[in-house]
Amino acid sequence: MITRITIAFCAALTLDACANTPTATEADYGNSVASLVKAQTADPATLSNPSAEPVTGVDPDYATKVIEAMRGSVAKPAEVKQPIEIRVGGQE
């Protein structure tokens, strides 16, 4: 009887310790999203004081670079039309 109580007590203490100690991931939760938003913001001052005005334009040099990057990363149609080969085990 005392053995069961001791085991139950130790299990309860172990679970309580695990529940109260945040893991490294839990301690850093949300920081990656916040850093991405900050990195993608053209004017970081707007994060703390956002404007109520709608966006009416874009920087033409920035837009040109974005379009060139998007067009440059598209796969070539000839490469896409190649047949798909699935090899199982030692088949050649």
The one-letter code for the residue type at 43 is D
What is the C-alpha to C-alpha distance for residues 25 and 23, in angstroms, rounded to an integer?
5
- The stretches of 1-92 forming alpha helices (DSSP H) are 2-20, 24-27, 31-39, 45-48, 60-72, 77-80
Q: Which residue has the higher pLDDT, 74 or 31?
A: 31
DSSP state of 74: S
pLDDT band at 92 (very low <50, low <70, confident <90, very high): low
Q: What per-residue confidence (pLDDT) applies to 31?
A: 85
Tell me the per-residue pLDDT of 58-71, one tens digit each, with 9 for 90 and over. 888 998 998 888 88
* The pLDDT of residue 61: 92
Convert the pLDDT of each residue in 13-51 to its tens digit. Answer: 777 766 667 777 777 887 888 888 888 887 778 878 888
The CA distance from 62 to 75, in Å, is 23
pTM (whole model) above 0.85: no
Token pair for 36: 């991405």
Per-residue pLDDT, 40: 83
